[in-house]
């Protein structure tokens, strides 16, 4: 952990806070709950008590703003900087600002930043903590989506805040007090936001049951999805990525979150339209577009946007043919052809896979185009196909790309 | 990932801004100072790589750039 130079801290135990305005991304009650919960995290490990006030100057003033917003640190639009806060002191000291150009949410899914997690981090600054270089610490500078139910403050953050304020006096600190609810005097009326219907939270695998990465040359190795990306080839399974590149000889082992932290693990399909430097990832009935490390704004989108009927709830595999500008989507024993130029599904589809791809008599887990040939993966095997003659050339192990 | 050629300069600009915001990087204006410290940006890149536990090379490689592009808090990482 770290503190600010000269370790500024509040010289009292009763600290006030005030919520100046709201984000239209969330219900106001959810904003208030997220912030109260964030204060509770810090009061539970220190003698500090936080009280919400509704008018005049509070020690910690909380607001949402975008771009230039009256201090010397303008926000930067979606992504990048999410929020900032000032160390304890008068006036702007202690204040926390949240970038309204972000999408704020009470969930820990991929469409938005969890306000409780970001607020808890920023309030750490408002109390006098600087950044920690301990990966996993709350005061680590980079946003990491994580389970927030029963969120426990990591030890590094407890050590840091107790170095400033000591331990709580009595049994776990009093819950954050609020004055008896009164009509707050000023509210920037945020348009009522219809809260996103709660999506089933992706089952977060806790570290204890995180599946282990299979060995590169495991003869049973199979993949969820495969795509090219700027001349490289990425193989996905669960949260793991195998990266094969012409720029370095060995296979690089990564995780999805190391490239795209806000994407969940377990893709169903992926493909690149390399004339557009764009890769699409599919999971359940949604898809994302990425350009390098950046997720294009406005995603995820429902796969029905591509022309799938609502009866299709997920796809098995996808591959783009650079020669014909068509993308093939595989679902069960059928496949669709999507015209990337017109951005629409072609007529006469779906068709049976077996009818057009001789030798591919089963479902397809993943698909790849490399050097003009197509590779269809099914379990631990892959089938090399010449798409022009639609002839099966040979069958190999799925991991034959890993120089086994 | 390989950087598309025309993006190279853009990435360098982005990295400079990042190091200014979070690591107190200041581009040397006077040529004398520039001569003294050939590449002040490399020092700041090393400082950032060390903070995040990356391999400390002083070069703006893809992992370093990827780390810079992660959504984050707007406060500096070094005490300033």
Which residue in A72, A120, A131 sits closest to B79, CA to CA? Answer: A131
Q: Which residues of B touch A75 (CB under 8 A)?
A: 74
DSSP code string of A298-350: T--EEGGGGT--TT----SEEEEETTTTEEEEEETTEEEEEETTTTEEPTT--
Chain B interface, best mutation among A2, A3, A81, by max B CB count within 10 A: A81
Q: Which tokens belong to A6?
A: 């000269």
Q: CB–CB of B66 and A83 under 8 A?
A: no
A&B contacts, CB < 8 Å: 79
Whether residue A158 contacts residue A148, with contact meaning beta carbons closer than 8 Å, is answered with: no
Return the pLDDT at A80. 95
Asked if B74 is an interface residue toward chain A (Cβ–Cβ < 8 A), one would say yes
Return the pLDDT at A173. 38
pLDDT tens, N- to C-terminus, chain A (404 residues): 999 999 999 999 999 999 999 999 999 999 999 999 999 999 999 999 999 999 999 999 999 999 999 998 999 999 999 999 999 999 999 999 999 999 999 987 767 999 999 999 999 999 999 999 998 899 999 999 888 888 889 999 999 999 999 999 865 433 333 333 333 333 333 333 333 323 333 333 333 345 678 899 999 999 999 999 988 899 999 989 998 987 777 888 888 877 787 787 889 999 999 877 899 999 999 999 998 878 888 888 999 999 999 899 999 999 999 888 899 999 999 999 999 988 999 999 999 998 888 788 889 999 999 988 999 999 999 999 988 887 889 999 999 999 88
Q: Which tokens belong to A115?
A: 């306000």
First to last CA, chain B: 33
Please state the ipTM of this predicted complex.
Answer: 0.86
Q: Which residues of B touch A113 (CB under 8 A)?
A: 71
Q: Which residues of B touch A143 (CB under 8 A)?
A: 70-73
Please indicate whether residue A102 is annotated as part of the active site.
no
Interface of B with A in 39-58 (CB under 8 A): 51-53
Return the pLDDT at B5. 66
Whether residue B77 contacts residue B51, with contact meaning beta carbons closer than 8 Å, is answered with: yes
Q: Which residues of B touch A73 (CB under 8 A)?
A: 74
Return the pLDDT at A232. 87
Return the pLDDT at A49. 94
The residue among B50 and A173 whose pLDDT is bigger is: B50
Q: How far is CA A239 from the centre of its chain?
A: 12
Q: CB–CB of A130 and B22 under 8 A?
A: no
Q: Which residues of A touch B72 (CB under 8 A)?
A: 80-82, 141-143
The answer on pLDDT for B26 being more than 70 is yes
Return the pLDDT at A197. 29
Which of A100, A102, A122, A272 is labelled catalytic? A122
Interface of B with A in 3-42 (CB under 8 A): 3-4, 21-22
Taking the C-alpha atoms of residue A314 and residue A267, their distance in angstroms, rounded to an integer, is 10
Interface of chain A toward chain B, CB-CB under 8 angstroms: 2-5, 73, 75, 79-85, 99, 102, 113, 118, 121-122, 125, 130-131, 133, 135, 141-143, 229-232, 247, 258-259, 261-262, 277, 292-294
């Amino acid at each position: 952990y770290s503190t600010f130079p000269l370790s500024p801290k509040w010289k009292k135990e009763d600290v006030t806070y005030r919520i100046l305005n709201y984000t239209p991304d969330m219900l106001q009650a959810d904003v208030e709950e997220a912030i109260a919960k964030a204060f509770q995290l810090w009061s539970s490990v220190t003698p500090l008590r936080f009280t919400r006030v509704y008018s005049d100057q509070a020690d910690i003033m909380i607001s949402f703003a975008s771009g230039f917003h009256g201090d010397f640190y303008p926000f930067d639009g979606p992504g990048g900087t999410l929020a900032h806060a000032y160390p304890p002191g008068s006036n702007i000291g202690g204040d926390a600002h949240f970038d309204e150009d972000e999408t704020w949410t009470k969930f820990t899914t991929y469409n938005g930043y969890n306000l409780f997690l970001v607020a808890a981090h920023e309030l750490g600054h408002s109390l006098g903590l600087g950044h920690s270089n301990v990966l996993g610490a709350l005061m680590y500078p980079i946003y990491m989506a994580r389970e927030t139910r029963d969120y426990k403050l990591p030890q590094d953050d407890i050590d840091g805040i107790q170095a400033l304020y000591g331990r709580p006096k009595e049994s776990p600190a009093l819950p954050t007090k609020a004055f008896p609810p009164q009509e707050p005097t000023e509210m920037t009326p945020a348009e009522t936001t219809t809260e996103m219907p709660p999506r089933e939270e992706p089952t977060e695998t806790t570290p204890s049951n995180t599946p282990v990465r299979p060995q590169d040359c495991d003869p049973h190795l199979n993949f969820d999805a495969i795509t090219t990306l700027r001349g490289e080839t990425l193989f996905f399974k669960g949260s793991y990525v195998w990266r094969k590149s012409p720029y370095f000889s060995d296979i690089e082992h990564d995780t999805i979150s190391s490239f795209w932290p806000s994407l969940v693990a377990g893709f169903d399909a992926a493909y690149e339209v390399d004339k557009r430097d764009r890769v699409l990832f599919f999971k359940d009935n949604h898809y994302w577009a990425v350009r390098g490390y950046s997720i294009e704004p406005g995603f995820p989108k429902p796969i029905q946007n591509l022309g799938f009927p609502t009866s299709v709830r997920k796809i098995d595999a996808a591959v783009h043919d650079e020669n014909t500008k068509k993308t093939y989507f595989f679902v069960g024993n059928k496949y669709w052809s999507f015209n990337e130029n017109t951005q629409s599904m072609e007529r006469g589809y779906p068709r049976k896979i077996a009818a057009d791809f001789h030798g591919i008599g089963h479902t397809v887990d993943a698909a790849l185009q490399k050097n003009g040939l197509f590779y269809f993966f099914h379990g631990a095997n892959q089938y090399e196909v010449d798409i022009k003659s639609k002839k099966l050339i040979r069958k190999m192990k799925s991991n034959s790309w890993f120089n086994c | 990932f390989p950087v598309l050629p025309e993006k190279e300069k853009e990435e360098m600009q982005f990295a400079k801004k990042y190091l200014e915001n979070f690591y107190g990087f200041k581009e040397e204006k006077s040529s004398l100072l520039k001569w003294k410290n050939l590449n002040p940006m490399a020092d700041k890149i090393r400082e950032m790589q060390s903070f995040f536990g990356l391999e400390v090379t002083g070069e703006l490689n893809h992992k370093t750039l990827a780390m810079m592009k992660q959504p984050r808090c707007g406060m500096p990482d070094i005490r300033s």
